[in-house]
Structure 1
Amino acid sequence: MPNLSQKNPSSLLGKMLLVLLLSIAAVVVLLPLVIVFLTSLAPPGSVTSSSSSIIPKAVTWDNYRQAWVRGDFLLAFANSTLVALAVTGFQLLTSALAGYALARLKFRGRQAVLLMIVATLVIPFQILVVPIFLVLKWGNLINTYAALILPTAANGFGIFLLRQYFLTVPVELEEAAALDGASRLQILTQVMLPLSQPALLTLFLFTFIGEWNDLFKPLIFTTRPELRTVQLALAEFQEQFTNNWSLLMAAVVIATVPVVLLFLVGQRQFIQGIGSTGIKN
């Protein structure tokens, strides 16, 4: 009888290679972030394009204070938070309603509607900017918060994601709720959505991070300084302090920290939500 406790050498070698490849990938991804952080701690003027070392000889945290004040990031943070939360709220609402209808309601043309929604995922937003701009201008919404919120209030990815997750919920739960007299809306809000928290959180993270990092909409649809978002403020900051690498990297860290913390807090539910949305017809 072979000893089952002995490990297969080829399997062990495969695991070691996998760990090595993942370690290399982690270094490749994290090294630029480490360089950005170390540069942000260097005294102004001590880091240039010809610097031979990424480790600063002296450390100062004053770069963050100066970057925060000079870039007026308080207003930018407030605007980005407002826009990101509003867009995320709208997408959660529209995706839940449309996703549930496509998953459970039987109507003619359902598959065609689903195919059209999925097809929108391959259309870049930049292609639609001209008609969207004309619609916003017709509605006198240019240079308003609505111009930053409404163009992305609904998204095909969110609809498809929740539709796929709703398909994993047993139909018997809905039938039991219907026997108790629950309406379709009550079934959605009291049965389906509580069971779909991983998918909802996944959509929340995707949408919030995407809106926080968006530069295109604020650049095209707004010109008022009081509507500046974080990414627009960062772009303007870069133009002003092109040669001051320490201040510039400090501003980059300031703009990045909120979304990194948000992802770290919700990463478990994020992975669960992605893993449980398999392809179903």
Structure 2
Amino acid sequence: MPFLRRSALALFTCLALAPVAQAWGPLGHSVVADLAQRHLSPAAAAEVEHLLAAEHTKSLADIASWADEIRNDPAQDALWKQTRALHYVDFTSGDCNYTPPRDCKDGQCVVAGIDHYVKVLGDKSQPDAARLEALKFVVHFIGDEHQPLHGGSRDDKGGNTYQVQFDGKGTNLHSVWDSGLLKTRGLDWKTYANELDARGAVTLPPAIPPQDNAYAQWAEESCEISRGIYPDGHKIDQAYVDRELPVAELRLREAGRRLAEVLNLALAKG
């Protein structure tokens, strides 16, 4: 086999095997979805069950990572390309003050994505298929927005190009926050959700004046948190895990409660 062809094949293989960053990863997204489902109103729970029937499930956790999974489905390639910029928001000025014309041009960010799909979900004149798709996006995007590096203000693609050493291996900071930190607990998503829910109702941060857009505030919170999570010397040690894991778990709890509140409002009767 010619050298160039062998090199191209090797490069393709490495890229194919490389982990793809996903906010929280399946573990975190399932935890957020399950926490939310435990606190749905009867009306919202009934509507969720009705919509999920088409997926042959009753669990929000089962569809929580769908918005990431479509990137690997050729049949969903157009939808992935249409929505992939809705998983995050870049605070391009370097500060954490959300300014739509600057940070969300043409509605291409997670703040606008949540707003759009919540409206579709709550519109009972829409076909069930469209509302089910919207439910999948809402569940996922609210989880995404609470991962601090999906609302960053640094020029490193949300920590994807910030290399670190973690557990004796090279990776990037985004991957650590997607799943590495959470996996240090060694829990499956149901057990993890049980443990977090047992801590009781989470106290949410107060509204940030003059911000009147809740979805924007959640992104701003992530941005502020992201500023303090870059490790000294690009190394993730046990002290870092002990310090930052509670931050990640708090964001999971906040996302679960907020997702429940959004669904309760969007799916209220009438």
TM-score normalized by structure 2? Answer: 0.29
Higher helix residue share: 1
Larger radius of gyration: 1
